[in-house]
């Protein structure tokens, strides 16, 4: 599976699109990236179950790069609550390792596709309704943050997402301002990605049917092209967020996510 021009263009277009949407809507690219990577891998002879797993793992690996540029921008504005990053990160790393080193390798690709479809469908509904949980309490203590981080890291590892759809509502519910919650979630993206990527690389050793230039479940050529493209367009998306009707755009994007969730549902049922 060489990097022919058509493949480079497909991956670059995917990276440009997900990077822009991540900056515009404040989401990670996993929910958009995973279905399209699944299609690309399947079209090049990778079995249905393995294509889903590799799409999830590769999507997560791109967050290693996109989160850095995002965190730098938020940090310059003083928006990142580093005390919360410190409290949530240990649980995130632990949960990520459990998901990527153990459960991810054991579960069939069809089950992961069904789980991804359910997760995306729920996230799309939250986005469509623009639901913001009322801030009624404070962040929990050390043990509570450890548990919350573990859940965020574990779920993220199963679906290949950066965790923003879990961590942002959780933090706003705990009386953290939405501005700080989004910035802190961006900072949490790196430990989420790092823990899971290490797990995917280790648990995927020796898998049969992976395309050339793969590291475990991670498809390195796709990672390289998508990471470069998404980092380029994320700042433009962030700039556009201040000029466009983001609430309406979120609803349009939610409808797209419903279609992608339906595709992954069919994929899981027929794999």
Give the structural domain span for 45. 5-270
Domain count, the chain: 1
Query: Across the strands, what pairs with 219?
Result: 214
pLDDT at 83: 94
Q: How many residues does the chain have?
A: 271
**Residue 201 confidence (pLDDT):** 93
pLDDT in the model for residue 27: 65
Give the pLDDT score at 239: 72
Instruction: Output the six-digit token pair for 205.
Output: 């050793």
Contact between residue 24 and residue 244 where contact means Cβ atoms under 8 Å apart: yes
* 210 DSSP 8-state letter: P
Other Cβ atoms within 10 Å of 190 Cβ, number:
21
* Predicted pLDDT at 117: 85
Element of type H or E holding 219: strand 218-219
What's the pLDDT tens digit per position in 11-62? 999 999 888 877 676 666 677 788 899 999 998 889 988 999 999 999 989 8
What are the phi and psi torsion angles at 98 (to 5°)?
Answer: -65, -40
* 10-residue stretch averages of pLDDT, the chain, 271 residues long: 80 89 68 87 89 91 81 80 94 92 81 84 79 69 92 84 75 80 84 91 90 92 92 78 72 80 83 63
CA atoms within 13 A on the CB side of 153: 31
**pTM recorded for the entire structure:** 0.81
């Amino acid at each position: 599976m060489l990097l022919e021009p058509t493949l480079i263009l497909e991956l670059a277009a995917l990276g440009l699109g997900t990077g822009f949407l991540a900056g515009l809507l404040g989401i990670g690219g996993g929910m958009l990236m995973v279905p399209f990577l699944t299609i690309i891998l399947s079209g090049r002879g990778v079995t249905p179950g393995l294509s889903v797993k590799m799409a999830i793992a590769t999507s997560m690996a791109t967050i290693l790069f996109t989160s850095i540029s995002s965190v730098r921008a938020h940090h310059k504005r003083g928006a990142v609550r580093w005390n919360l990053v410190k409290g949530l990160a240990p649980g995130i790393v632990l949960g990520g390792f459990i998901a990527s080193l153990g459960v991810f390798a054991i579960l069939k690709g069809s089950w992961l596709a069904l789980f991804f479809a359910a997760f995306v469908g729920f996230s799309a509904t939250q986005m469509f309704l623009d639901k913001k949980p009322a801030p009624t309490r404070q962040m929990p203590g050390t043990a509570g943050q450890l548990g919350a981080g573990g859940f965020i890291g574990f779920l993220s590892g199963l679906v290949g997402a950066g965790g923003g759809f879990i961590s942002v509502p959780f933090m706003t519910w705990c009386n953290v301002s939405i501005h700080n919650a989004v910035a802190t979630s961006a900072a949490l993206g790196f430990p989420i990605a790092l823990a899971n990527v290490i797990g995917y690389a280790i648990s995927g050793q020796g898998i049969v049917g992976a395309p050339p230039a793969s590291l475990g479940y991670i498809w390195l050529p796709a990672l390289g092209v998508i990471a470069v493209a998404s980092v380029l367009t994320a700042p433009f998306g962030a700039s556009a967020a201040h000029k466009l009707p983001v609430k309406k755009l979120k609803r349009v994007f939610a409808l797209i996510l419903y279609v992608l969730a339906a595709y992954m549902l069919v994929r899981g049922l027929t794999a």
